[in-house]
Structure 1
């Protein structure tokens, strides 16, 4: 237990010899150290999972995720430890806040980035269903676009086909009407177009011959329509349009399984949008809550230190720092005075060195 307490003290970055003199502050700094440690541990898990999501399916996905998670956790741990250690409790609350503000901003950014993979996992079922619908709509839109392009390419042929169909439909309607009139003529039903005399007379025979000719021509039109449709179908097959099919359930599942981060992230962002254009508040609140939770955990060590009051340990550290600062300044003054005291001696030594150098130069010039 004592070793665990010292470990959490080390996480806080306190001077343990000084803290030992104030037993009433031990629990406080154990709590702060535990907060820093578990924040780093949480960052390790979150960073590892984020990297595992990126490399999922790869041969070394687990190794990369563990390596990145450890590095990320240590980086966050070290940053939190430094920020907590560097907050000067003798300053005002505003100065302490501005001192910790860069870490808070960084925590917000980290929380948003790290929370996304976890959100993707939590809403995995909803994301998969959304992607199934989205991929199906995209495939249908693709097929419709290809068909429209094909129709625009062969607009003349389609115009001829539609004209033949219109003519055939009109002729078929006319044949049906005249066949009714023929029946009325045979059975003696009096109308504006019939004589009202029962029996198969000359007028009925003439109508039947006209109907036969129209039926033959209708068959010719249908043959031409069938031929034109067959030609267009062959061209579609040659251009690969018939290979475009609506995705089956198995194909959709395969597409969803290999969906990348961009598609899944986009799907998560669109989950809150209903088909009618309204916002699903429950999904929106759930996504925002998870992001805020990560941000809170990232900011927690700094908040704990900011919320803690100025205690005996802080005062002792401030006093030690004051003594050390004074000692350092005094050391500078002592060194300056010592230099001033030996300035005359250093001047004499410098003069003697210069005179010796001049004498050597003079002797060398005489000898030469």
Structure 2
């Protein structure tokens, strides 16, 4: 426990020998140091997770993530330690606020940077579902764009094909009607267009001739349609329309698993909205409050240091700094003089400085 305590004191940036003489201050700086340490730990996890997605798929992705996470965590830890240690509790309240304001702004920025990758991990499942919807919509839009471009490029050919198909359909109906009339004529069914005489007579022969002529025309149209369809199919194959297909469920799972940091970050922002564009209040609040929690956690060491009253440790540090300043002032009144090139001695020049100041006055 003593080693852990001294480690957290180190994290808080205090002068440990002085702090040991003031037991009432131990817990306060233990808590501040623990907060700074865990902030650096969260930063290491956050940075490592973000870097893992940057190099995901690379064989050395884990090593890159560990290395960057360690460097990033140490950098944030050192910055937080400096921010807390640089707040002077011996200064006035206004001066402390002035000192803390830029540090709090910096802590907010650090908290935002730390919280984002961790939010990506917290909402990992929801992000994957939103990415699936996005990828599917993008693929559908891509296919529609290709089809529209193809239709614009081959407008004349497609129009001619459709017109020929319409003629074929009309002719098929005519052939069907003529075949029925021929049957009525042969079997003696009386209609407005048949004689009503049973047998294969002159009327039946004429109708059979007309039917064969129309069937020949129909065969010609079908042959032309097949040629045009082969041309259009070949053009679609050449322009890549058949190479694009809507993603299957397995393909979507694979795409979401290899999604990069930018895509996942975009999907996290989209979680605040439903697929129809309306705002999802519950998810939006959840994402916002998790981000604010990390920001508050990052600012907590500064807040604790500012809210804490001036204790015995702070007074002791003030006395030590005053004594050191006094010693520095005294040292400025002396200079080193070398006697016979061998023995250095301190020569008091303070009197000469005082004389010069009196003379100048």
TM-score by length of 1: 0.79
How much does 1:194 deviate?
Answer: 4.6
Matched with 1:290 is 290
- 233-242 or 197-206, which moves further after superposition? 197-206
Evaluate the alpha carbon distance shift between residue 97 and residue 198 of structure 1 in structure 2; reply closer, same or farther with a 3 A threshold: farther
Evaluate the alpha carbon distance shift between residue 173 and residue 43 of structure 1 in structure 2; reply closer, same or farther with a 3 A threshold: same
Evaluate the alpha carbon distance shift between residue 2 and residue 157 of structure 1 in structure 2; reply closer, same or farther with a 3 A threshold: closer
Evaluate the alpha carbon distance shift between residue 70 and residue 121 of structure 1 in structure 2; reply closer, same or farther with a 3 A threshold: same
Which consecutive residues of structure 2, in runs of 5 or more, have no partner in the other structure?
335-347, 357-361
Matched with 2:252 is 252
How much does 1:300 deviate?
Answer: 1.6
Which consecutive residues of structure 1, in runs of 5 or more, have no partner in the other structure?
344-368
Evaluate the alpha carbon distance shift between residue 204 and residue 271 of structure 1 in structure 2; reply closer, same or farther with a 3 A threshold: farther
Deviations for 1:219-263, whole angstroms, at most 9, x for unmatched residues?
321221122112222333344433333333333333333222222
Distance of 1:341 and 1:145 partners within structure 2: 89
| Structure with bigger gyration radius | 1
- 305-314 or 209-218, which moves further after superposition? 209-218
Distance of 2:76 and 2:330 partners within structure 1: 38
TM-score by length of 2: 0.80
Evaluate the alpha carbon distance shift between residue 64 and residue 90 of structure 1 in structure 2; reply closer, same or farther with a 3 A threshold: same
The correspondence of residues 1-368 of structure 1 with structure 2, limited to 5 A, is: 1-176=1-176, 186-189=188-191, 193-194=192-193, 199=198, 206=206, 209-332=209-332, 337-340=350-353
Distance of 1:174 and 1:94 partners within structure 2: 98
Evaluate the alpha carbon distance shift between residue 136 and residue 327 of structure 1 in structure 2; reply closer, same or farther with a 3 A threshold: same
- 298-307 or 237-246, which moves further after superposition? 237-246
Q: Which has the higher helix share?
A: 1
- 254-263 or 297-306, which moves further after superposition? 254-263
How much does 1:199 deviate?
Answer: 5.0
Matched with 2:337 is none
Distance of 1:243 and 1:76 partners within structure 2: 49
